[in-house]
Amino acid sequence: MSPVTWNPLLAGTILVLALGDPTAACSCAPQHPQAAFCQADAVIRGRFMGVTQLSRNISSQESMPWIRYEIKASKIYKGSETLGDIRFVDTPALDSLCGYQHPAPLKGEEYLIMAMRQDEHLTVSACSFLRPWARVTPRQRRGISHAYMGGCACNVVPCNSMPCVLSSDDQCLWTDGLLDRRWAGPQAQRLACLPRPSQGASQTNGLFCTWETLKSGVPGSLLKAAQTTE
């Protein structure tokens, strides 16, 4: 079972294609960092170093503008086994296709980058999980380094309005958006949806997933150092 029900690159209204309305706005579904991690083909910490304009053919007579960002990775959390050395991520140049526009100066602060593989390229969009590393909480860093991978068989289900109902034991209800439409509450910042043995059920009945508090894994006196090196 897929850990989430949307593709970060195709979330929201990316179905507005190049032949559609070029002024259409991009709308993105909420992403819990665990769901984004599990769906991503590559998870990288690194800096945006350069940018190049590209053109890709979408038919024999038409092409689409793309942007290629050069990345200098300081750590690869996911994808190195299948993708090898990760140096570039591509994105549509059109806002109507949810193209990603890097908001910070090149060669600046480090970013957490979660990218999808499309053909032979890694791609990101305005709907992808991209954050300045300084804004990634210590518990989220723990999830990226250790815990999230273990929960990829679980499903994080956003609750947009009450009542919300779970349909299976492998789901965790994500309710941060009920109080904060940025979906940046405690479940996103401190929790992971992880499998646990189902009480009174046999293993053939499937997974039982529940929210678990992520540990920073670092003594308090070393927390500041961990925030810059983890």
Binding-site members for Zn(2+) are: 26
Classify 149 as helix, strand or coil: helix
Binding residues: 26
Residue among 149, 144, 174 at smallest CA distance from 160: 174
CA–CA separation, 34 vs 147, rounded Å?
9
Q: How many residues does the chain have?
A: 230
Strand partners, 54: 66
For the stretch 165-170, contacts whose Cβ atoms lie closer than 8 Å and that sit 24 or more positions apart, written own/partner, are 168/206, 169/198, 169/201, 169/205, 169/206, 169/207, 169/208, 169/209, 170/1, 170/195, 170/206, 170/207, 170/208, 170/209
Q: Phi and psi at residue 47, in whole multiples of 5°? A: -110, 145
Residue 10 DSSP class: T
186: enclosing H helix or E strand = helix 186-190
